[in-house]
Amino acid sequence: MGMDGVNGDGAQGAVAGDLRIGVFVCHCGGNISDIVNVETVVRQAAELPGVAVSTGHMFCCSDPGQAAIEQQIREQRLNRVIVAACSPSLHELTFRRAVARAGLNPYLFEHINIREHVSWVVEDKEQATRKAFRLIRAAVARAAHLAPLTKRRIQIHPSVLVIGGGIAGLTAARDLAARGIRVTIVESNPFLGGRLAQLYRIYPTGQRAREILDPLIRQVAADPLITVYTNAQLESSTGVIGDFRTTVRLTPRGVTEDCPDPQAAIDSCPEECVDQFNLGLSKRMAIYKPYDGCYPDLPAIDWRNCTKCGACFQACGGRGIQLDDQPQFVEIQSGAIIIAVGLNTYGPRHGEYGYGQYPEVITLAQMNRLLDPEGPTKGRLLVNGRTVRSVGFLHCVGSLQREGIHRPMADGKLNMYCSRVCCTTTMHTAEQVRERFPGVHVYDFHEDIRTYGRRHESYYDHVCEQGVAFIRFDPMRPPAVEADPKGEAALVVRTVDRLTAGEEIEVPVDLLVLATGLVARDMTRLIDLYRCSVGADRFLMEVHPKLRPVELAASGLFLAGSVQGPMDIGESTAAAAAAAAKASALISTGTIEMDPFVAEVREDRCSGCRICLNACPFSAITRNEEFARAEVNPAVCLGCGTCVATCPCNAIQQYGFSDEQIKAEVAALLAEKPEYGPGWQPRIVAFLCYWCSYTGADNAGTARLKYPANADIVKVMCSGRIDPELITSAFSWGADGVMVLGCHIGDCHYTSGNHKTMVRMPLVRRLLAQFGIEPERFRHEWVSAAEGEKFSRLVKEMTEQVRALGPLNWPSHLDAVGVGHGHDLEPWGEEQTCQITAD
Amino acid sequence: MAEIKQEYDGLVLGAGIAGMQAALDLAGQGFDVLLVERAPSIGGVMVGLNKVFPTLDCSSCICTPRMAEVAHHERITLLTYTELKHLERTARGFSVTLVKKPRYVVEEDCIGCAKCELACNVVVPHEFDYGLGAHAAVYIPHGNAIPQVAVLDPQYCMFDGACARACPTDCIDFTQQPEEINVQAGAVILATGLKLVPLDVKKEYGGGKYVNVMNPLAMERLQSPNGPYGHVMRPSDGKIPRSIAYVQCAGSRDKSIGVPYCSRICCMYALKQGIMIRQHLPETEVTIYHMDIRAFGKGYEQFYRRAVGEGIRVVKAKVARITEEPNKDLKLRVELIDEGGRVAEIRHDLVVLSQGVIPGWKPDGAAPVRIDEDGFFLIPEMAARPANSSHEGVFVAGVATGPKDIPDAIVEAGAAAMEAAMYLGRSQARAGGVQ
Amino acid sequence: MPDNGRLKIGVYWAASCGGCDVSVFEIGFRILDLLQIADVVFWPCAADFKYADVAAYPDAYIDVCLFNGGIRNTEQEEVARLLRKKSRTLVAYGACAADGGIPALANLSSREALFQFAYHDSPSTENPGGVEPQVKTDTPFGQLEIPDFYSAVLRLKDVVSVDYEIPGCPPQADRVWEVIQAVAGGAVPANNGALRVGCTLKSVCDECPLEKRLVKITQFRRHHEFRPEPGWCLLEQGQPCMGPATRGGCGALCLKAGMRCEGCYGPPVEVTDQGTAITGAIGALLDAQNEKRAGELIGQIPDPAGTFYRFSMASSHMKARR
Amino acid sequence: MSEIKRNWREDLKIFRERMGGVTQERKDWQKEQRDYSKAISGVLEKGARTVPEIAEASGLPSDKILWHLMAMKKYGKIAEAGRSGDYFRYELKGGQS
């Protein structure tokens, strides 16, 4: 991976030479100028330090408006541009592009919003004009600290690593290869296919699972762009988006292509062991193939059960059998990684509904093997050699667990979630039983029937028509299973049927099928390697369930299929294709461009305290152990600025939102000397996160909700960037009140930036109280993008509250204390008065 | 309106969350996409929702950034207020005929200032608020609309020219006519979204005549901070409801009206709306009458339990009939299943019918895709290729292929984009193009 | 006064505990080396000098004046101005002179509240007449004048310009010796920037040997409430350690002895307000998923301002209670 | 932004013709709107009222009162003025109440 610097030619500082700022104030065809006196504002702005041009325009965003800005930049050699117009969400990009066309770095541009935040919300024209000028003055002050920035460009290695060779991994790999992208599949088992290979018929199409799987595997195996490693376990990983390096350990297969007669090798093996593929319903040898037509079509040795007796070696004349191979390691370079390791089925504990206790109690997955004509019973419904006359299905085994009823899992947590696929699978299986074995009675014990998906309900309908008996149990009193005391059937299920008003019933069944839920695999390795996070359900957690359902928090890592939660086959393939689409987009661009507003650590100031590592929602910060300091990976940083507010040494800065810039802005908002007396206007600084609260303020504007002109908005990307120091600065510079508004908890554009705000602000409130600042002067609230009404109400309330309290006027307080404005006295060398004299 | 080219790699029909995502995922892979939306703004159903389950994030907070991304994407061309007239395969892909409806506003000149709206003297029921709110006869679709451009509804116009007089950019154009647009597209993604089962088929629930029997999307608007009332109130008289009933499967799992399937989202939105109501109006009782609670998705069961914990009454029952009292209260005749089928009559201030989900658009010959017996697009290989329609080169995403929640719609949109990209790659390779 | 070419040294004690004066002796036998090259020309604590003696010196006569303590009353300000005039290099020596130090914690109370407590309410006060000190009091022997008490403790640089500041409560002896050597060697000219010396550019964490485990804080506890696990970061264990937001240079002395850092070296080099700096950091460290939990955890810090600004109140943005 | 000057007055005449002019339907709708807003304003001139109170005082159906009231509220003619039991009260904006 290569990355261009954030700053063109490392130019971090100001543009060489004097500041030449251009201020362009939009009339917006009266939308602004009907309320704001644009002429006054333009005239006042012209007198601000550094301003070379100050002018108004009817429509800045129009072609002539943009042309006028470009012309002024060229003719007046402007090196900073400010446009005061509508919301930046509408036209910031428009003006940035215009500035760039005129040959100026587009980040030397500052957009301020005097329409949605001023003219549309302030009724009093004089107040509106003053507020507009304050905002422009603040922008001018901020502009002095702007630096030319360039977008980050990250090069992407044109290949993808797919972890997992089940339906999701295979689908993703096939799709990517179809887009001409090189793919490596890493599967930990010796054979591809995952759980799908074990299924018999799948809903909602009723197809044989292998009708889907086999052609897919053939396609993947034949594709020259796809490399497959089976028996391959993840060993270690380094790198970030664009350039991941994953080391994989290849466990020897024991059998090579040279083997002249693999079947003879299998037949010669004396070591019989449990056949995992048939879920323990049959046996196989220690050298084995799970089923005919598996891929690779070459047996593998199960090292846990192999005694290395050499029988297979001899059966093959010593060719193609390698009993003493050592593991090999390969490093796989990739620009992106798709994680598709799938899930496990819940294994009932011994005695749970008679499982393990009675051979007639099996799981739904085992039932699927029994129904398979190629399965352990060749498709006959036999248990213990006995023909089955009645079957019971019991739902929610290992799912929807409840405290006090179910025993927690090994990690102490209950599986509270619904496993999503079991209801429909049960209906589908019951349907097959009724169709293939019409004499067999079927009972269904359920809490709810959740046949949610397309065509799922029709299975439910069918089995109802086919005479399956439904019994609804109370989850707080789950059914009990025991051997049938009368000996009529193998078992009896005792339960209360809520459908018949709580009648206690006993249902004799020859076979009880537990509709076992789905559980996450052990994710420890993935967490170690890729810093993935898991939810309370132990499945991997996507970065945002709505917006980015197939992405992990760290860029370049994608999720495909049921590694993320229970899914059926169609859902898994859809998720796999969606993940492939993300990876394909990443690879096909070759490089990605990202906003330059990243954080950067000043090495000479960082003490390596590691606190920022806790702050970053994206793990973009690591600690360089050699130099004991933090480093921001600009390829991973998304620019929320939460670390900047966190660093207790101010050793981290964010491009575009440095302390210097924000403080200059705040100071300029408060620069005007307030007029005390009857016309006194409270001065309130409002720090707003861009994604929710700023948009909420825009929303108040578009809805023309009027509120007082007293709250001046300072924009940051995330409320996590709002350093408590900014709040005390604002007060000490004369603010009468401060507001901090961010996205609601859970809505943060940066996942958890606002969690930091949630902790800091109450602490700030306590500090302020100790300094004697009334709690009404500081307000911290969550405002969403839709809550324009709330925003306007908050400003109204805040203004009224502060007005009632009167001026805070901290500068005069500091004067009274005797420290002036908190800065040093006159420079050394000037006359110092002194009363003590020599005798 | 952006410059419309002659040819696009992909055409995406429908700019709800699925269509937007499909367009982004296709454009992200380097293809030029034309995104067509029949409403005056993109965003679909999602942008009008209050919160989304189970995380309770603000819907517009997560939808509007995506809308902005679509609008600013250099490979996506947006065509709003436009409908598909015809789509057919040709040797070179698809020949597409679109009809752009007249906005009577010049899109590129309108600055979204709403001066026309404020000047207009007529108010009209607002479709975005399901008729509960109003807009002027010329109006900006809503606060978060993209594009922020006015549209004039000629049905109610009084022709006094107030809008044109107020417009600072002289962009009201009374001469506009429906405009036919012909483009070529290499592949097509249909993301045409949903409608709800019309109320009139449920005669036993009033057939749409009872003013306080409301549709769940309208309830969503009532709960939204930018909704028509700003509060949850009942439409008959503005009363803050003290008891609200949700009748589940009102038009789902009902063969008699041709909707035998489960609409998949109703359980969750009923629980979600219940939680939101209880948060704002802790004294208001919420009762959900249901057949099964289908909380099947990630975090859904936990959400269900939370809702019950917050005092929402979840009652397994069949609602046989709703009748309206003179004061517009509603009386529900209910068969309580867990009480052995006891029949009770229960009064509520407001009833939300969890109306079933049906396809938002039918091709009716406009596009060569087959419809399945459930009314949604036929998917020949539902397990292996869930985004492929019956017609080569036409892909489908979102609720157009069956009811689904937002994450599933987004995932499927990604899948449709991937399928379309693969198809485009193949056809470009056949045509000898560089790929 | 003849200039014998030797270094002239002055030391003064304003609003502080006197520990700084003692700390000068902590350089140990090195003080003998110092006296080889230097004359002490003013050090009320160690030798008998009067203000008038100092006033009689020519301006800039004192080469280096170590001024410890903040400015609490008129006398201290006057002496500060005098010493400024008579010193070539004026050094704010120690936390009190540099950042207000412990005495500036009184800035959280008003002058009136302090007097009320000290002269009326405190349990040890016996003041039936309710008398409070007056600046001028008429006595049979004439008018008596005592210094006027300011409403807040100020830093030395709030009243005169300062060349250097050596933070610490007290400054660490090795750092002091380094500074003295530099001054003696002529390497330290008058700076006029209140430049901090005798400290590092990093925070105490840089010198702290305790291990960070990157775990979140689940509970705040005071030192007497539990036995911290040795070798493990005290902040992570729930003690409000100021190390991250405190200028380094002390060698993490307290932490090495198992005590949390109280912040005596003042804010780090890029920071002006020590309390908000640690507030920002704590924001990222709490194990709180919701507002209620966050509130509970924060509530466990008994006196945030007193804890976070223990030594730097006079340097904070707010400086004093309103 | 285009720089064409439109002759909208002429265009409007043609548009009006094309749309069938001011039909009875349009007139009825405008009349309803006018009647309701007049009735609502009339009642609220006497002070803040709830929807049922306005309906009672004006003799008009409360659901339509609510709809028109909300339209007036949206366009800034009416404001909410606290609550009275299970109903919100509304008042005229601009101090007429």
Across the strands, what pairs with A737? A684
Pairing of strands D78-84, D87-92: antiparallel
User: Same domain for B302 and B331?
Assistant: yes
Flag whether residue A29 sits within 8 Å of chain D, measured between CB atoms: no
Residue pair B275/B311 in contact by the 8 Å Cβ criterion = no
Per mean pLDDT, which range of A16-20, A191-195, A370-374, A656-660 is the poorest?
A16-20
Residue B274 parent element (H or E):
helix B266-280
pLDDT of residue A436: 94
Q: What is the pLDDT of residues C223-259, one digit of tens each?
A: 889 999 999 999 999 999 999 999 999 999 999 999 9
Tell me the average pLDDT across B396-411. 96
Residue A699 parent element (H or E):
helix A695-702
Whole-angstrom distance, CA of residue A697 vs CA of residue A701: 6
Q: Which CATH number fits domain A598-654: 2.160.10.10, 3.30.70.20, 3.40.190.10, 1.50.10.20?
A: 3.30.70.20
Which residue type, as a one-letter code, is found at position C72? R
The second-level CATH assignment, the architecture, of A1-151 is: 3-Layer(aba) Sandwich (3.40)
Q: For C317, which of A648, A822, A832 is closest by C-beta distance?
A: A822
Please state the separation of Cα A229 from the chain's center in Å.
29
User: Same domain for B308 and B394?
Assistant: no
pLDDT interval class at A728 (50, 70, 90): very high
**CA end-to-end span of chain C:** 48
Flag if B387 and A417 touch (Cβ within 8 Å): no
Beta carbon pairs, B and D, within 8 Å: 105
* Domain span holding position D67: 2-92
Backbone angles phi, psi at A558, to 5 degrees: -125, 155
Nearest CA in chain B to D83: B240
Q: Is residue C7 helix, strand or coil?
A: strand
Tell me which of B430 and C234 has the higher pLDDT: C234
Q: For B383, which of A175, A499, A570 is closest by C-beta distance?
A: A570
Chain A residues close to D3, C-beta within 8 Å: 64
Q: For C276, which of A606, A723, A825 is closest by C-beta distance?
A: A723
* Interfacial A residues in 572-611 facing C (CB < 8 Å): 602, 604-611
User: Same domain for B229 and B328?
Assistant: yes
Last residue of a domain, one of B356, B391, B415: B356
Residue A486 has pLDDT above 60, yes or no: yes
Distances (CA, A) of A647 to A197, A602, A642: 52, 11, 9
User: Same domain for B344 and B375?
Assistant: no
Flag whether residue A821 sits within 8 Å of chain C, measured between CB atoms: no
Tell me the average pLDDT across A538-561. 89
Tell me the average pLDDT across A337-353. 95
Flag if A610 and C214 touch (Cβ within 8 Å): yes
Chain A residues close to D76, C-beta within 8 Å: 704
Whole-angstrom distance, CA of residue A455 vs CA of residue A428: 11
Pairing of strands B213-214, B350-355: parallel
Q: What is the pLDDT of residues A27-55, one digit of tens each?
A: 988 889 999 999 999 999 999 999 999 99
D80/chain B closest Cα distance in angstroms: 10
Q: What is the pLDDT of residues C107-121, one digit of tens each?
A: 999 999 999 999 999
Complex prediction ipTM = 0.80
Residue B431 has pLDDT above 50, yes or no: yes
What b/e readout covers C3-29, taking b as 16+ CB neighbours within 10 angstroms?
eeeebbbbbbbbbbbebbbebbebbee
User: Same domain for B222 and B347?
Assistant: yes
What b/e readout covers B196-223, taking b as 16+ CB neighbours within 10 angstroms?
bbebebbeebbeeebbbbbbbbbbbbbb
Residue D47 has pLDDT above 50, yes or no: yes
Flag if B384 and A581 touch (Cβ within 8 Å): no
Per mean pLDDT, which range of A681-685, A827-831, B341-345, C46-50 is the poorest?
A827-831
Query: According to DSSP H, which parts of chain D are helical?
Result: 8-18, 24-44, 51-58, 62-74
Q: For A416, which of B302, B316, B413 is closest by C-beta distance?
A: B302
Q: Which CATH number fits domain A347-518: 3.30.479.30, 3.90.1010.10, 3.50.50.60, 3.40.640.10?
A: 3.50.50.60
Q: What is the pLDDT of residues C172-213, one digit of tens each?
A: 888 788 877 877 777 666 666 678 888 999 999 999 999 999
pLDDT of residue B435: 39
pLDDT interval class at B430 (50, 70, 90): confident
pLDDT of residue A817: 79
Tell me the average pLDDT across B405-431. 93
The mean predicted confidence, pLDDT, of chain A is 91
Whole-angstrom distance, CA of residue A229 vs CA of residue A217: 13
Residue at D85 is within a domain = yes
Whole-angstrom distance, CA of residue A265 vs CA of residue A314: 8
Flag whether residue D88 sits within 8 Å of chain B, measured between CB atoms: yes
D1/chain A closest Cα distance in angstroms: 5
pLDDT interval class at A834 (50, 70, 90): very low
Chain D residues close to A62, C-beta within 8 Å: 1
Nearest CA in chain D to A64: D1
Residue at D97 is within a domain = no
Q: What is the pLDDT of residues B70-126, one digit of tens each?
A: 998 999 999 999 999 999 999 889 999 999 999 999 999 999 899 999 999 999 999
Q: Where are the domains of chain A?
A: 1-151, 157-251+327-342+521-589, 252-325, 347-518, 598-654, 670-839
Distances (CA, A) of C150 to A823, C16, C121, C158: 18, 15, 20, 13
User: Same domain for B43 and B182?
Assistant: yes
User: Same domain for B13 and B82?
Assistant: yes
The CATH number assigned to the domain holding D30 equals 1.10.10.10
Chain B residues close to D68, C-beta within 8 Å: 123, 134
Nearest CA in chain A to C57: A838
Whole-angstrom distance, CA of residue C111 vs CA of residue C107: 8
Flag if A62 and D76 touch (Cβ within 8 Å): no
Residue pair A685/A778 in contact by the 8 Å Cβ criterion = no
pLDDT of residue A1: 37
Q: How many domains does chain D have?
A: 1
D49/chain B closest Cα distance in angstroms: 12
Q: How many domains does chain B have?
A: 2
Nearest CA in chain B to A473: B338
Residue A712 has pLDDT above 80, yes or no: yes
Please state the separation of Cα D7 from the chain's center in Å.
30
Residue A830 has pLDDT above 60, yes or no: no
Whole-angstrom distance, CA of residue B50 vs CA of residue A145: 40
User: Same domain for B346 and B407?
Assistant: no
Q: What is the model's pTM?
A: 0.82
Percent of chain A at pLDDT > 90 equals 78
Residue A14 has pLDDT above 60, yes or no: no
pLDDT of residue A17: 62
Residue A385 has pLDDT above 90, yes or no: no
**Residues of chain D whose C-beta is under 8 A from some C-beta in A?**
1, 3, 76
Tokens 């359980």 belong to B267
B354/chain D closest Cα distance in angstroms: 22
Please state the separation of Cα A454 from the chain's center in Å.
28
Tell me the average pLDDT across A757-765. 96
The mean predicted confidence, pLDDT, of chain B is 94
Per mean pLDDT, which range of A268-282, B53-67, B156-170, B194-208 is the poorest?
B53-67
- Select from D27, D38, D50, D74 the residue whose CB has the most chain B CBs within 10 Å, as the one to mutate to test that interface: D74
Flag if D1 and A704 touch (Cβ within 8 Å): no
Residue pair A650/C277 in contact by the 8 Å Cβ criterion = yes
User: Same domain for B373 and B318?
Assistant: no
B249, two tokens: 């499967």
Whole-angstrom distance, CA of residue A503 vs CA of residue A470: 13
- Select from B174, B210, B224, B281 the residue whose CB has the most chain D CBs within 10 Å, as the one to mutate to test that interface: B174
Q: What is the pLDDT of residues A676-703, one digit of tens each?
A: 888 899 999 999 999 889 999 998 998 8
User: Same domain for B226 and B271?
Assistant: yes
Q: What is the pLDDT of residues A610-643, one digit of tens each?
A: 999 999 988 899 999 888 899 999 888 999 999 9
Topology classification of domain A157-251+327-342+521-589: FAD/NAD(P)-binding domain (3.50.50)
Flag if D1 and A62 touch (Cβ within 8 Å): yes
Q: For D14, which of B174, B233, B239 is closest by C-beta distance?
A: B174
Tell me the average pLDDT across C309-318. 95
Instruction: Give the list of residues 6+ apart from residue C33 with CB closer than 8 angstroms, or none.
Output: none
- Select from B259, B372, B411 the residue whose CB has the most chain A CBs within 10 Å, as the one to mutate to test that interface: B411
Q: What is the pLDDT of residues C114-151, one digit of tens each?
A: 999 999 999 999 999 989 989 999 989 899 899 999 99
pLDDT of residue D4: 62
Tell me which of A5 and B331 has the higher pLDDT: B331
Q: For B161, which of D9, D63, D71 is closest by C-beta distance?
A: D9
Flag whether residue B134 sits within 8 Å of chain D, measured between CB atoms: yes
The CATH number assigned to the domain holding B81 equals 3.50.50.60
Tell me the average pLDDT across A104-114. 96
Nearest CA in chain B to A177: B422
Question: Which among B18, A620, A533, A638 has a CA at the least distance from the CA of A543?
Answer: A533
Residue C305 has pLDDT above 60, yes or no: yes
Whole-angstrom distance, CA of residue C242 vs CA of residue A650: 15
Assign 3-state DSSP to chain B and report helix, strand, coil percentages, each to 5.
25, 30, 45
Residue A716 has pLDDT above 50, yes or no: yes
User: Same domain for B243 and B350?
Assistant: yes
C30, two tokens: 């090195």
pLDDT of residue A384: 78
Domain with CATH 3.40.50.700 in chain C: 7-102+153-196
Whole-angstrom distance, CA of residue A785 vs CA of residue A441: 57
Whole-angstrom distance, CA of residue A598 vs CA of residue A612: 14
Residue at D8 is within a domain = yes
Touching status, chains B and C (3+ beta-carbon pairs under 8 Å):
no
Please state the separation of Cα A360 from the chain's center in Å.
44
Q: For D76, which of A61, A63, A704 is closest by C-beta distance?
A: A704
B287/chain D closest Cα distance in angstroms: 19
pLDDT interval class at A825 (50, 70, 90): very low
Tell me the average pLDDT across B21-37. 97
Whole-angstrom distance, CA of residue A656 vs CA of residue A633: 17
The second-level CATH assignment, the architecture, of A670-839 is: 3-Layer(aba) Sandwich (3.40)
The second-level CATH assignment, the architecture, of C7-102+153-196 is: 3-Layer(aba) Sandwich (3.40)
Burial of residue A263 (number of CB atoms within 10 Å: 0-12, 13-18, 19+) = exposed
Number of C-beta neighbours around residue D70 at 10 A:
26
* Domain span holding position B306: 198-356
User: Same domain for B70 and B187?
Assistant: yes
* DSSP conformation letters of A398-466: TSS--TTTS---TTS----S--SSHHHHHHHHHHHHHHH-TT-EEEEEES-----STTHHHHHHHHHHT
C208: left (phi over 0), alpha (psi -120 to 50) or beta: beta
pLDDT of residue A824: 36
Tell me the average pLDDT across C152-168. 92
Q: What is the pLDDT of residues A139-166, one digit of tens each?
A: 999 999 999 999 988 899 999 999 999 9
Whole-angstrom distance, CA of residue B86 vs CA of residue C56: 104
Residue pair A109/A99 in contact by the 8 Å Cβ criterion = yes
Residue pair A481/A449 in contact by the 8 Å Cβ criterion = no
* Interfacial A residues in 611-670 facing C (CB < 8 Å): 611-615, 628, 642-643, 645-651
Flag whether residue A816 sits within 8 Å of chain C, measured between CB atoms: yes
Dihedral sign for Cα B157, B161, B164, B165, please: negative
pLDDT of residue A593: 85
Touching chains, B (3+ CB pairs < 8 A): A, D
Tell me which of A821 and A84 has the higher pLDDT: A84
Residue pair B198/B21 in contact by the 8 Å Cβ criterion = no
